[in-house]
Structure 1
């Protein structure tokens, strides 16, 4: 199976590290022109260099913009007015008790995790429809199905991603444009590593073992019994972004290690 994205322009939001950076690398390695994004110019430039390390022949550009705001989304669209592939990866997370989460925090999570994808999909989908081909992919989470008690505000936004992606798939019916959601489970990104560092230091265990312990304690339904690697998530996203996935749309595709205990 050969994934060939030559001639396609792919925008990956929140792609200076973690799953987003792995997706950018995977798309570039498959021949796409990749646009990376982050809030800070230095981080964007560093990400461009990392993508070029793994795909020296790739065309890679970057746009520094805070996509959690309408102005930031518009800045990205102004810099990159057209795309064939849009990966709405940008997201923030963090455990906090429901009763301690302020209105401002709820709004920030909604703006970053939901409205960034809404605004960019609204901007890029018409061009994809005109061209008769396109891919929009939302990075949701198993937390959108299994709402975590310690991150209700986060789980809510990931459920919203599923609603938007399914509805948009219906809206784009028959156009050659597909819209899907990908649902990672616990994944060993820099953000998750940061959360695990304290427990690893206290226990004297490696980060890898701390990740395994976390999954077994907090996501005991996991079948792989470990966090996924970022490339394992990116591999699915690259396939969904490709012409090979033409009959897959409106789907919630899990790469959660089996955390969601369901046969459907």
Structure 2
């Protein structure tokens, strides 16, 4: 299927691994020129080296919690590739977890700063050039947790509910300029983040890694009827579709990639 975005320019945050990296891969296969960004000290350079065989790739380090870093990320991408037509926000952390009464302000603020305000800062940089050209695609990674909160992850849940609201508001504000804003909501995808969660669970329960996954699905995610973790490329496929001309009438919407984890019909 021709996605109609060959030659476009995309910037992806949280792109050094997992869903961000796989989104970059699929965009490159569609003929998009891609900039990757993530925090320093990770595997960003390795990700860029792995993807370079597919097309034009640049890597720029930066911290989405720092306004100066965000401005510099966009400056460097514009200088090296041009102004992005597409922005995919995959940067995020699980953040502060545990009993609500035991999570302090610092834990809440850090989680919200990365997951929600990071997206706000990046969108603020993305939108003006898109409006000027009359074409833009923004995809923000949300989560099943945004509409089905879990009591030990409330800071994360709130940050992702904020992402849904941000995306809907931006879609209303800038859809008239053909800047379309949507979300993708994964559930329990095989990524370095969930690997760490399952290693911790395995240690706490005295079981194997695979047994930790099996018990998590049974006890914590009974709605995931496929009974497995999702694959990063399965989420990336939905994100790239929303970036394409094939999704030119989709705005302010969300696609769940969750194996049925969310029990209700509410979006």
Q: Is 1:69–1:111's contact at 8 Å kept on the other side of the alignment?
A: no
Shift of residue 204 of structure 1?
A: 5.1
Output one character per residue of 1:80-110: Cα deviation in whole Å (capped at 9) or x when no partner: 2421000011101043222222211211111
Measure how far apart 1:2 and its partner are: 2.3
Partner of 2:123: 121
- Residue equivalent to 1:226: 228
Q: Does the C-alpha gap of structure 1 residues 204 and 109 become closer, same or farther in structure 2, counting only changes over 3 Å?
A: closer
Q: 1:72 aligns with which of 69, 74, 81?
A: 69
CA contact (8 A) 2:175 2:181 kept: no
How many residue pairs get aligned? The number is 260
**Contact 2:16 2:42 (8 Å CA) reproduced:** no
Kindly state the Cα deviation for residue 167 of structure 1 after the two structures are TM-superposed: 0.4
Residue 263 of structure 2 corresponds to residue 261 of structure 1? yes
Correspondences of 1:49-60 after superposition (within 5 Å): 49-52=49-52, 56-60=53-57
**Equivalent residue number for residue 6 of structure 2:** 6
In structure 2, how many angstroms separate the alpha carbons of the residues matched to 1:144 and 1:91?
14
Q: CA deviation at 1:165?
A: 0.1
> Would you say the 8 A contact 1:134–1:176 is kept in 2?
yes
Cα drift, residue 41 of structure 1: 5.8
Q: Which runs of 5+ in 1 are unaligned?
A: none
Secondary structure class of the residue paired with 1:79: helix
Match of 1:18 in 2: 18
Corresponding residue of 1:167: 169
Structure 2 unaligned residues grouped into runs of 5+: none
Aligned-pair RMSD on alpha carbons?
1.7
Task: Report the 3-state secondary structure (helix = DSSP H, G, I; strand = E; otherwise coil) of the residue aligned with 2:37.
Answer: strand
* 1:239 corresponds to: 241
